[in-house]
Each structure stands twice: as C-alpha cells, then as structure tokens.
Structure 1
Amino acid sequence: MAKRALGTKLKIGKTTSTPVAGLTSIGGLDLSADTIDVTTLDSDGGYREFIGGFKDGGEVPLEGYFNPETGKGQKELYDLFESGVTEDFTIEFPPEVNAKWEFKGVVTNFATGADLEDPLSFSATIKVSGKPNLAVGTGS
C-alpha cells in the first residue's frame, strides 16, 4: 500500500542534526552505475559484454518556502554551499515507513525566488558523495 510523504524530513549533520524547515519537495537519491565494455573478438553472438563500473549516488534536489529566520536549516544549506564542505545528511521518511537515507553530500546549488502570485521560494541541490545507506526497519 502506498504511503504519504507528509512528515518526511531532511536533516543536516549526524550527532546534532538540524532539520531543514519549509520544504515542499525532497527529490529522491538517483543512484546510477557506469558500465565497462569488456567485449572481445570472441564474444558470443556479436553482442557487447559489460561489467559494472563506478557507482554514483546522484543528486538530491530540494524545494520549499524561503524563510531563513524561522526556516531552520535553510541558512545552513546556504552556508554549506559557500564553504563547499562535505556534510552528513539524513532523509527520514514518516514513522510508519520506518526507513531513512543516510549520506554525505556537498551543496552544489542554492537559489531563491520571488513571484508576485506565490510565496517566496528557495531551492537547493545536494550532490551525494560516496556510498549512501538506506536503513530500513531501524527506527528514525
């Protein structure tokens, strides 16, 4: 049965984590893997053969309502963008899902927007660094 996303949180840091407030969207990790062509002159049937290469944790796009004074975590995302530091992040799904992503990442984009008909907005992108971990059934 499908579960609602309501209650999903993005947290910055590991020991003392800061939740990012005001989020309307947390994109999923987009894992991918390279392939290495190992085709030889005697490969069967004229088909290319491959083995797995390096894996990439992808990026995590974020969107939300911009309010850096009460929107805890938004200023921290900007500060991480400015510093270029690799930080710990956690995406916690609602308690009934009982799962979370844990990963290190670098903030590669931070943007704000103002539109006459909409609330102030912000977006950010986190590039996953290294191997992410999907913890299931461990409690959040």
Structure 2
Amino acid sequence: MTVSTGKVGLGTLFKVGDGQSPEVFTAVVNVVSINLSGRSVEEVDFTHLASSGGFREFRAGFKDPGEVQLTCHYDPSNATLNGTAGLEYLLNQGTQFNWEIDMSGTGFAYKLTGNGYVSGGDFTFTGEDPITYEVTIRVSGQISESAA
C-alpha cells in the first residue's frame, strides 16, 4: 500500500499584499478556514449540422477564477481584519489587492497568488462560539502557482 503524500491545512496562511514595490504580504490573523471555490470554464457550443454522429461539440471558453472564502475569529483591534486597515476596510473601499495562500507551514513549499477585491463580509454572533467574520474575495484574473 502506498502512503498518502497529502497534508492537513494546519499552518496555511492567507496573506494580503500592500501594493508597494517590492510588495510585502501580511498574514491575516485568526483564519479558521480558507476555501477557494467556484472555478469554472465556460463551454462554447461548436455543434454544426455535419457534426460526427449527431453529437454536440464543445470547446473551452472564458475561465472564471472563482472566489476565496475566509472564516476568521473576529478581533476589531487587529489591523488585518478591521475597518481601519484590514479586510473590512478593503470591503468598504472596494480596493483591488494582491493575495497569497501560503502553504509552507503545512510542509509544502508552495503558494497560490492572485488578485481580487472583497465582495462580501458577514459577522456571526452567538453565545457559544467565537464571533466569526466570513469574508468573500472575488478573484480577478489567473491564479499563479509557485514555490513559497
């Protein structure tokens, strides 16, 4: 039996770039989960009257890079989360920014890098759990993969 080379996500960081040159990326605090989802490719129908066997023919069209969803334990005093400089600020300003998902803390020397803007931010308050801040980042353009 072959042993899995997979890793758990423990140690993964979500980082926001400062837009300067050289760009410095700062890790967002208290991230509970990172979900990159909704990536898809449009299908363009190229079927014609002489298509072989009467089967439809498709080709790839535009690609949608999806969204990054973060769940964080909210701390309004932390500059990576709050409305003064953090993700809440980026939501309020509509600012586009570079981001990284850094997996080097998991044992993979690997990262995903992209660009986007905060398109949503939801708070959840209960008596039993930490206050959560769920942030949606709309990805714009291609996501790059590289060594961390």
Q: TM-score, length-normalised on structure 1? A: 0.91
Kindly indicate whether the alpha-carbon contact (under 8 Å) linking 2:43 and 2:61 is maintained by their aligned counterparts in 1: yes
Identity of aligned residues (%): 32
Residue number in structure 2 paired with 1:64: 72
Superposition CA RMSD, Å: 1.3
**Residue 4 (structure 1) aligns with:** 8
Aligned partners of 1:101 and 1:133 also within 8 Å: yes
The gaps in structure 2 that reach 5 residues or longer are none
- Equivalent residues in 2 for 1:49-128 (5 A)? 49-70=57-78, 72-75=79-82, 76-95=86-105, 96-128=107-139
For 2:131, the aligned partner's letter is L
Displacement of 1:125: 0.4
Poorly superposed stretches of 4+, deviation over 4 Å: none
Work out the CA distance in 2 between the residues paired with 1:102 and 1:30: 16
One-letter amino acid of the counterpart of residue 60, structure 2: G
In 2, distance between residues paired with 1:81 and 1:36?
Answer: 34
Aligned length: 136
- TM alignment of 1:27-66, pairs within 5 A: 27-66=35-74
TM-aligned CA deviation for residue 121 of structure 1 = 1.1
- What is the rounded CA distance, in whole Å, between the counterparts of 2:71 and 2:36 in structure 1? 12
The CA deviation at 1:30 is: 3.8
* Cα distance, 1:91 vs structure 2: 0.4
The 8 Å contact of residues 71 and 133 in structure 2, kept in 1 or not, is answered as yes
